Every structure is written in structure tokens, then in C-alpha cells.
Amino acid sequence: MAIAVFFVAAAMAVIGGIGVISFHQPVRSVLSLVVVMLALSVLFLLLSAQFIFAVQIIVYAGAVMVLFLFVITLLGPARELGRGRLRFQTWLSALFLLVLLGLMWAMLQGVQYRQPDSGVNLSFFGTVQSIAVGLFTTYLYPFELTSILLLVAAIGAIYLSRKRIDDPEGGPAEEGLRPASGMGGNLPPPE
């Protein structure tokens, strides 16, 4: 049963990933990425990481991707144009694909599909309590340092986007207040 769920979720993740790079409308790409996130959360659940499963959906599918969608809908439904290709794009991509496959083959040598270690208590492993114990004891300093990093990033973003008082033009913040050029009018005809 678990293996069937794994293959369905894995296939969904791969199809979603292909969708992200092959759709021409940005909104569909975002939705494909949401599918990837949901499939990944199912994979986490299969590894008995219940807390990560829920957080993966809440944070990535429920918040991060919504902000992506927010920006894309504000920019308007403009279609990505098929220009600006590199000169040897096809050959380069084939080369990188070969290198990637070679690396994956090298990594996967000797990895077997296995059961969880017998010493692991599955009624505690991956629960909110076990994650909390890890975060607030062993990994307390890295955890707190990460939160400071996030705070710095947030303050930096506010500083960069705020209105300059000494700037008579109003600074970069004005830019965001103007209505987006393509808002709700210039969608191309569907295929």
C-alpha cells in the first residue's frame, strides 16, 4: 500500500516539476509548483514525518506560493515569449542532462529501498514533540541564528522598498503603487 502511494506521489511530483518549466503562462507554472509541494508533503508523510508534512503544506503551498501567485496576478496575465534562446541551448541542455544522470547514478549506487531502523520509536519519531525537543535543545543556537537571519532579511527588504524622505521623486516605493500595465486586459487567446 505504502509503495503504491509512494509511486503516485513521486509521479505527481515529477509531472508537476515538468509542468513548472514547460507551461507558457506563469500562473500555470505556479500551480504546477503547488502540485510538487503537495506531492512532497505526501512523501514526508510516508517517512512518518507528520509535522513536516503539515508544515510543508501550510508554509510552502499555503503561504509562499500564494505570494508568488499574488505577484504574478498583479503583473498581469502576460504570456512568456519564446525568444532569447542561447545559441547552443539544445546541445548544452543535453550535456547537462548527461552529467546530472551520471551524478545520480553514482549517488544511487548501493542505496537500497529499506525499512526504518528497528531502534526508532515510530510513535515518537517525526511528531511535533520530537521536533520541538530537537529544536529547543540540540539545535537551539542554529535555530535562533536562523531567526536572526530572517529578521535581518525582513528589515533589509523594508529599508530597500520604503519611500525616501529626501527624494523629491518619491523613491522606489512609488513604483509599486502604480497600477500594473497589463492588469486584467491583455491575455492572449487560448491555444
16 CB burial (10 A radius; 0-12, 13-18, 19+): buried
Position 94: which residue type? Answer: A
Q: Quote the cell numbers at residue 55.
A: 508544515
Which residues contact another protein (rule: CB under 8 A)?
25, 27-28, 31, 34, 41, 50-51, 53-55, 57-58, 61-63, 66-67, 69-70, 73-74, 77, 127-128, 183-185, 187-190
> Closest CB to another protein among 20 and 73?
73
CB of 26: closest distance to another protein in angstroms?
Answer: 11
* Contact by Cβ (8 Å): 46, 151: no
CB of 56: closest distance to another protein in angstroms?
Answer: 8
CB of 14: closest distance to another protein in angstroms?
Answer: 20
Position 153: which residue type? Answer: A
CB of 165: closest distance to another protein in angstroms?
Answer: 22
d(CA 32, CA 20): 5
> Closest CB to another protein among 99 and 128?
128
